[in-house]
Amino acid sequence: MPYEKAGCSFSHVYQPIVYMENREILGFEALIRSNIGHPEQLFEMARREDRLFDLDTQSVLRAVSQCSQVISGRKNQLFVNIYPSTLLHHEFHAFLDELVFQRSAGLDIVFEINEAIEEFDRWTELLDRGIVNLLHKKAILIAFDDVGEGAISLKQLVDFEPDYIKLSKYFTNGLEHSQGKQRMIRMLAEFCSGGSSELIVEGIETERQFYILEQMGVVYGQGYLFAKPQPLEELVFVNPIL
């Protein structure tokens, strides 16, 4: 059932994720925007109305459709946010079949699993019900978002073995002057270099931050230094790094 209603609408902007070595594009993160205020307000309203699944899945399908149209025929990854409760919903399998059918050739979908504290107790169920294996069978990749600030623990990094670990921009902010943040980033970069996960550092804003992260072995980055979130058409046809 469509979530949008009178006085409420949403759309997406996109931000590239790049290889640190040459700043080429790995893919794009779809970021939802709403006319009612901060995106969290939109999802809080949907949760109160017991419509979170509807909003979550429609957001994913709309982003995939737009990305498939704009960058058709080009190899890219699309990172889309999704809640654990959506992955466990009784209608999720039907939604997943529709999603797989709709994506274009060359477009890899990455589910950024939301780390909302309200859904902390759903993480164990994701493993118990084999959701991670199901996604991989459908060629859907998994990313943990805002690692270091939300509900995700080191235990979950080991148990889930996500394809991507997205480190919160908290660790990038002021890292030039923080040995503690540098040690943490270096530790995660080393952890990822020997395993199945890839590290993406968010919130890169300056060339100095870029240089430090590159020297520490970070492979992927995201942030205003490369591009601000904007309509996908503008990123693809205007931004010279694409």
Query: Average per-residue pLDDT in the chain?
Result: 89
Q: What is the pLDDT of residue 236?
A: 66
Q: What's the CA gap between 118 and 179, in Å, rounded?
A: 32
Minimal CA–CA distance to 107: which of 69, 159, 56, 136?
A: 69
Residue 76: alpha-carbon gap to chain centroid: 14
pLDDT score recorded for residue 114: 84
By DSSP bridging, strand 25-34 and strand 10-19 are: antiparallel
Top pLDDT among 165 and 234 is at 165
Q: 85: pLDDT confidence band, cut at 50, 70 and 90?
A: very high
Instruction: Return the top range by mean pLDDT from 66-70, 116-120, 145-149.
Output: 66-70
| pLDDT interval class at 104 (50, 70, 90) | confident
Q: Where are the alpha helices (DSSP H) in the chain?
A: 39-48, 52-70, 84-87, 92-102, 123-128, 131-137, 154-160, 179-193, 207-215, 232-237
Domain parsing of the chain, residue ranges: 10-236
Whole-number pLDDT of residue 4: 63
What is the rounded distance in angstroms from the CA atom of residue 184 to the CA atom of residue 180?
A: 6
Quote the DSSP letter at residue 197.
-
Position 242 confidence tier, pLDDT thresholds 50, 70, 90: very low
Q: Does residue 150 register a pLDDT over 80? A: no
d(C-alpha 176, C-alpha 213), whole Å: 10
**Options 2.40.10.10, 3.20.20.70, 1.10.540.10, 3.20.20.450; CATH of 10-236:** 3.20.20.450
Please indicate whether residue 79 or residue 102 has the higher confidence score (pLDDT): 79
Write the pLDDT tens digit of every residue in 154-210. 788 888 899 999 999 999 999 999 999 999 999 999 999 888 899 999 999 999 999
pLDDT digits (tens, 9 = 90+) for 40-68: 889 888 999 999 999 999 999 999 999 98
Would you state the pLDDT for residue 3? 64
